[in-house]
Amino acid sequence: MKLQVLPLETFKPHVEDESQLSFGKQFTDRMFVMNYKTGQGWHNARIQPYQPFSLDPAAMVLHYAQEIFEGLKAFRRPDGQIALFRPMDNFRRFNFSARRMCMPEVDEAFMLQALKELVRLEVDWIPHSEGTSLYIRPALIASEPMLGVRPADEYLCYMILCPVGAYYKGGLAPVKIWISDHYVRAAHGGTGEVKTGGNYAASLYAAREAAEKGYDQVLWLDAKEKKYVEEVGSMNLCFIMDGKLVTSPLHGTILDGITRRSVLALARDMGLEIEERALSVDEIFAGAENGRITEAFGAGTAVVVSPVGQFTYQDRTVVLGDGKTTGEVTQKLYDTLIGIQCGQLPDPHGWVDLL
Ligand X SMILES: *Cc1c(COP(=O)(O)O)cnc(C)c1O
CA 298 from chain centre, in angstroms, equals: 11
E strand or H helix at 63, and its extent? helix 60-64
For position 248 contacting ligand X by CB under 6 A, the verdict is no
The 3-state DSSP class for residue 337 equals helix
Nearest approach, Cβ of 195 to ligand X (angstroms)?
5
Nearest approach, Cβ of 312 to ligand X (angstroms)?
21
CB distance 161 to 125 below 8 Å: yes
Q: CA 306, 343, 125: angle at the middle one, nearest 5?
A: 80
Query: For ligand X, which stretch binds (CB under 6 A), given 22-30, 31-39, 76-84, 258-266?
Result: 258-266
Interface residue with ligand X among 255, 264, 267, 281 (CB under 6 A) is 255
Q: CA 78, 80, 83: angle at the middle one, nearest 5?
A: 90
For position 236 contacting ligand X by CB under 6 A, the verdict is yes
Do strands 304-313 and 175-179 pair parallel, antiparallel, or not at all (unpaired)? parallel
Interface residue with ligand X among 163, 300, 309, 327 (CB under 6 A) is 300
Kindly tell me which of 196 and 312 has the beta carbon lying closer to ligand X: 196
Nearest approach, Cβ of 89 to ligand X (angstroms)?
8
For the chain, how big is the Rg over CA atoms in Å?
A: 21
Kindly tell me which of 216 and 231 has the beta carbon lying closer to ligand X: 231
Interface residue with ligand X among 139, 235, 267, 337 (CB under 6 A) is 235
CB distance 43 to 1 below 8 Å: yes
Interface residue with ligand X among 47, 101, 195, 247 (CB under 6 A) is 195
Kindly tell me which of 122 and 231 has the beta carbon lying closer to ligand X: 231
CB distance 146 to 58 below 8 Å: yes
Site residues for ligand X per CB under 6 A: 71, 195, 231, 234-236, 255, 257-260, 300-301
